[in-house]
Structure 1
Amino acid sequence: MKLLSRLFTVAEASQGNKEKNTTPILPNPVQVYQQNLEEIFEQCSDITYTPVKLNVGKEMIEGLLIYSNVLVNLDVINKNIIHPINSYESERLSHGPQEPSLIYDKDHTPSKGNIRSLEIFAEIITTSNIKKIDHWSQVVQSILYGNTVLFTNYCSTALVLETKGKEGRSIAESTVESAIRSPRDSFIEDIDTNIGLIRKRIKSSHLKVMNMIIGSESHTTISVLYMENKVNHHLLENIIDLITNIETEVVLESAYIEQHLEQYPYSPFPQTQITERPDKVCGDLMEGRIIILTDGSPIALVLPITFFQLFHSSEDYYTRIISSNLTRFFRFMGFFIATSLPSIYVALISFHHEMIPMNLLIDLSKNRTNVPFPPVIEALLMEVAVELIREASNRLPQSIGQTIGIVGAIVIGDAAIQSNFASPTMVIVIGITVIGSYIFPHYNTSYALRILRIPIIIMAATFGAFGIVISWCWVIIHLCNLESFGYPYLFPLAPLDNSVVKDGIIKKGLKN
């Protein structure tokens, strides 16, 4: 109960900015309400004010609908709000005179609130969700969230009518985390739809969803999901505290939340995992992890995570044990190749000729005869060329981006060899390295590999094989000291925990 009460407080407090008016609604004519809102939404041409009237016997109830025409579903407003109000009098007459209770209080004092008039509107309006509000801050928030607010004369309470528009892209297959055997749906930019995709898979009351509002200007909805019977509640308290302490004006994507939550922003390794697959999120929920969804983003944050979780794919659990473990082995191999293969080549060519077979050494020497740069400069130049091609292909339209990447790599590689800018062996080494960096199921892991690769190459060019050993010692020490929200990053290997190691590194069968 303590956690729920604090979350309720957060949902109110996090919306506040210095300009927000928290005064209650006072009984006034609807014309005064409109003037107040016109001052608040000055120069906002998308805000619409629609007066409505309801004939109840000899009384005429005046009402005012306020909404943003770019955020609402206009069909819902016309069919479920305006049409029932306009047709109420004729329906009442067709069924005979049925006078409802008087609208005003007994002493006809407007200052006490014209509550009955609001109840009559609520009875005839057919929207799916109706709730009452009594503060101006709630009015402004409801309008900006795509709802419609209804005022009536001399009533200190307003109605919030559910009229949000659901326009947006439809659910489609993930283009980032593709898999051969797996569900084909992925998250979209609507947070309610994303929660529905999770609820569709986990039909349990233990699945809890807590909403919070972050961003003093954007008022972005953040949903925290967890399994009540599996989550570490102390961890959940810490996560909630971190989110409540976020001070920012706007949240446009889940990356804003991620950067505010991470404890080691200068580490090359991520402390949260991102995914747009509902099945992956459900699997993590069942393991006791916490999921953070952001309205307007198709990316979910998974936390806490471990280093070995970066090598896991949801497809691992849909294939047989041998094939999934073999795939994981290749991912670990790809991690080592992507970080160390260029540095090993530089160290062998520069310092450790005796470790290369004589015939291979002679061929390598012939290939490098006309190359004017030392191996380290050659490797760094090729790395820069690859990064430029990668960035260019990402920024180009998807239809030609992949073609430019492939053609650019072939043309530049061939031209570099023909002009003696780089040796054929170096082109092959860099090509294998790039392939190794793309073997991971989560693309953000490749950023860590690219950051590590350059320093290790420089260390190899300076100290040879000892430089590579020193670099890897630094990486391992850093991983041992790194934590993800209080959990050791190398868990379950360090510290060793045999009870969970079965899926930490090597996957075992579901029956085990």
Structure 2
Amino acid sequence: MKKWMRSSRSHKPTQELNPVSEPKMVMNDKLDANREQLEKTFENCSDIALQSLVLFGKQTLMVYVDGMVDKMLLEHELLQTVRDNESKCEAKSLLSLAEQLRHTLRVGQIRTADTFDALVKGVLDGGVAIVLDGEPSVLIVGLERLPSRSVEEPEAEPLIRGPREGFIEQVQTNIILLRKRLKTPRFKIESFTVGELTQTKVAVVYIDGIATDSVVQEVRERITQIEIDGVIESNYIEEFIEDMPFSPFPQVHTTERPDIVAANLLEGKIAILVDGSPAALIVPITFWNLLLSAEDYYERFLIPTFIRYIRFGFILISLFLPSLYVAVAAFHPEMIPTNLLLSIAGAREASPFPALAEALLMEITFEGLREAGVRLPRQVGSAVSIVGGLVIGQAAVQAGIVSAPMVIVVSITAIANFTIPRFNFAFSTRLLRFPLILLAGTLGLYGIGLGFVCILIHLNSLRSFGIPYFEPVAPLSIGGLKDILFRAPHWAMKLRPRLTGYNEPLRVPSGQRPGPNQSHETDKKEGQ
């Protein structure tokens, strides 16, 4: 089983983010020298506050970023506590002050640093640095207050039934949302810093004992090997760590819902949270994970099973319907019933373009309308895309530019595309639709068959962190089909996925179906 865990990418040994770096500058014990260096470093940074005060009879400098520090905590907690404890410190030094503050200060993380780089990083992270004259180290107190939005439901992943919480742009808040759902010390969090200029915090989270050690190590190595000037969104990380970057299919699952992340962690997968992005990355994934919705697990199992077959059918429609219409209309009209063929021929009689040109023209037009609806303000975007499609389609038919059947085919294809739960996978089908139309317009059904075979070969060759992309269909796992071909009841899905949860495979003990058993025992007692 472990043979599938080998990655399709080759990596160098783990190394530091900046293998060639300047030596760290040690703090000076002269306050004037430290102030001069700070002023030089933060030159033309008007938000950096350098506040002078006196502690232990020594000149002291307090450094922080104005706007990133809670002023109420700074004035009423830190400064007041420092003044109250100044006389209690036996040794009039920074270390004694730090020790005293750790016992009395009610907020903030307190640490000391002896390098100038650590001072700068602490200040830029939202801390308050206290520099004393004659001290070779600096005291950093975390009093950050960063602007953030409230936790609310992700607009891109709506549900009828299920949790309404979504990730936000602060990685610490996102970790809390996961910790609230996974109340176990086995929930592990490993922190990294990526980006030379942004110093973006990246957290790798997993459940110890369930996640495979080799995959966890692979995630660590791929992240530590990233060398870039800045990371603004989680997609920066995604493009660096995916196995085959030129594939149209996503190999990393992205979601803004903590319930989806928690459910995947329980299956032995690993999540990557990036500060500044509400989208979490989940690895490894399979092709089938992208076709399932979170709501499939929040309704009784019969309903999601029916909905899955509807969804799978519409995914095939979204991918193949335009190309099938082009192939049949251009090369295989004998496959169409006579009455329908006469109707289509009559509708296409006024069209000056062949079926291939019609399909490409309408598909490109609808893609443009869809993109316009996304970019326009939310209040008018959906109206423009829907009304624009109706108006342009009707006008094109009346003008004789395209035929009515082609407008119907493209409209059904667009609706079918909306049934795909994951936007990145829906975009893959939209992208593949164009080469399939070209193959259908040149080779007919043989071209569609050739394109389908190429897609299957590519899907079977893909890997996501060493896991086969088409698993559990290829390689076949009968037990894994319980959550693919149909959604089995939760009490029947006793085992975790074979390739990600084999460390601790059992999820539900045997015979765990308490409802009927309990009622049967109750009937026995009442009969006695």
Q: TM-score, normalised by structure 1?
A: 0.90
- Please state if 1:488 is matched with 2:468: yes
Q: Which residue, out of 199, 204, 212, partners 2:192?
A: 212
Structure 1: any 5+ residue segments left out of the alignment? 1-9, 93-98, 105-113
State the match for 1:37 in structure 2. Answer: 38
Pairing 1:82–2:79 present: yes
Call closer, same or farther: CA 1:346–1:156 in 2, change over 3 Å: same
Structure 2 Cα separation of the partners of residues 50 and 119 of structure 1 = 23
Q: Write out per-residue CA displacement over residues 310-368 of structure 1, whole angstroms, 9 at most, x where no aligned residue.
A: 11111111101111011111221121111100001001110111110101110101100
Distance 1:118 1:188 in 2: 33
Determine the structure 2 residue equivalent to 1:449.
429
- Which structure carries more relative contact order (alpha carbon 8 Å, separation 6+)? 2
Structure 1 residue 100: deviation in Å?
4.4
Whether the 8 Å contact between 2:28 and 2:34 is mirrored in structure 1 is no
Which one of 475, 481, 486 corresponds to residue 501 of structure 1?
481
Q: CA deviation at 1:500?
A: 2.2
Q: What is residue 198 of structure 1 aligned with on the other side?
A: 178
Decide whether aligned partners of structure 1 residues 270 and 261 sit closer, same or farther in structure 2, where only a CA change above 3 A counts. same
SS of aligned partner of 2:353:
coil
Q: Which one of the candidate residues 404, 417, 438 is aligned to 1:437?
A: 417
Q: Is the 8 A contact 2:98 2:111 kept in 1?
A: no
Q: Distance in 2 between matches of 1:439 and 1:67?
A: 50
- Which residue is equivalent to 2:17? 14
- The residue that corresponds to 2:59 in the other structure is 62
Separation in structure 2 between the aligned mates of residue 409 and residue 391 of structure 1, nearest angstrom: 12
**Residue-by-residue CA offset, 1:33-92 (whole Å, 9 max, x unaligned):** 2111111111111110112223xxxx5143221111132222221221123334557xx6
Which of 81, 90, 108 is matched with 1:101 structurally? 90
Please give the alpha-carbon distance, in whole angstroms, between the structure 2 residues aligned to 1:201 and 1:122. Answer: 30
Runs of 4+ with deviation above 6 angstroms? none
User: C-alpha offsets along residues 447-472 of structure 1, whole Å, 9 cap, x if unaligned?
Assistant: 10011100101111111111111110
Give the match's secondary structure for 2:363.
Answer: helix
% of aligned pairs identical?
A: 36
Deviates more, 1:140-149 or 1:467-476: 140-149
Secondary structure, in 3 states, of the residue corresponding to 2:254?
strand
SS of the residue corresponding to residue 444 of structure 1 reads helix
**Could you tell me which residue of structure 1 aligns to residue 29 of structure 2?**
27
Measure the CA separation in 2 of the matches of 1:392 and 1:450.
16
Q: Secondary structure at the match of 1:250?
A: coil
Asked if the contact 2:69–2:145 (Cα under 8 Å) also holds between the matched residues in 1, the reply is yes
The Cα shift of 1:17 comes to: 7.8
CA distance in 1, matches of 2:215, 2:365: 44
Of 450, 454, 462 in structure 2, the residue corresponding to residue 474 of structure 1 is 454
- Confirm or deny that 1:359 pairs with 2:360: no
**Match of 1:7?**
none
When residues 292 and 227 of structure 1 are mapped into structure 2, their CA distance, relative to the original with a 3 A threshold, is same
Taking a change above 3 Å as real, the CA distance of residues 171 and 16 of structure 1, as seen in their structure-2 partners, is farther
Which residue identity lines up with residue 45 of structure 2 in the other structure?
A: C
1:289 — aligned with what? 269
Mapped contact 1:15–1:215 kept (Cα < 8 A): no
Q: Does 1:245 align with 2:246?
A: no
Alpha-carbon distance in 1 for matches of 2:392, 2:197:
47
Match of 2:392 in 1: 412
CA-CA distance at 1:501 after TM superposition? 2.3
- Alpha-carbon contact 1:117-1:152 (below 8 Å) kept: no
Q: Given the superposition, is the C-alpha separation of residues 15 and 34 from structure 1 closer, same or farther in structure 2, using an over 3 Å criterion?
A: farther
1:486-506 Cα distance to aligned partner (Å, 9 max, x none): 110000000001232211342
Specify the SS of the correspondent of 1:229: coil
Q: Does 1:49 align with 2:50?
A: yes
- What code does the residue aligned with 2:374 have? N
Is 1:17–1:216's contact at 8 Å kept on the other side of the alignment? no
Contact 1:17 1:217 in 2 (8 A): no
- Measured after TM superposition, the shift of residue 155 of structure 1 is 1.4
Is 1:396 aligned to residue 376 of structure 2? yes
For 2:442, the equivalent position in structure 1 comes to: 462
Question: What is aligned with 1:266?
Answer: 246
Task: Return the match for 2:119 from 139, 142, 146.
Answer: 139
The amino acid of 1:300's aligned partner reads A
8 Å contact kept, 1:263–1:485: yes
Paired residues of 1:72 and 1:146 also in contact (CA < 8 A): yes
Helix, strand or coil at the partner of 2:143: coil
Q: Distance in 1 between matches of 2:281 and 2:307?
A: 24
Q: Structure 1 CA distance, aligned partners of 2:346 and 2:324?
A: 19
The secondary structure found in structure 2 opposite 1:500 is helix
State how far apart, in whole Å, the 2-side matches of 1:297 and 1:116 are: 39
In the alignment, the residues of structure 1 paired with residue 377 and residue 95 of structure 2 have an alpha-carbon distance, to the nearest angstrom, of 57
Taking structure 1 as reference, are residues 388 and 81 closer, same or farther at Cα in structure 2, changes over 3 Å only? same
For residues 368-379 of structure 1, the aligned pairs below 5 Å read: 368-379=348-359
1:338 to 282, 304, 318: 318
- Normalising to structure 2: TM-score of the pair? 0.87
Aligned in 2, Cα 1:53/1:16: closer, same or farther, shift over 3 Å? Answer: farther
With 329-338 and 429-438 compared, the bigger mean Cα shift is at 329-338
Match of 2:405 in 1: 425
Q: In the alignment, is the contact (CA less than 8 A) between 2:24 and 2:115 conserved in 1?
A: yes
Per-residue deviation at 1:177?
0.5
What root-mean-square deviation, in Å, do the aligned CA atoms of Structure 1 and Structure 2 show?
Answer: 1.9
Alpha-carbon distance in 2 for matches of 1:292, 1:331? 28
Partner of 2:8: none
Against the structure 1 CA distance between its residues 39 and 16, is the aligned structure 2 distance closer, same or farther, given a 3 Å change threshold? Answer: farther
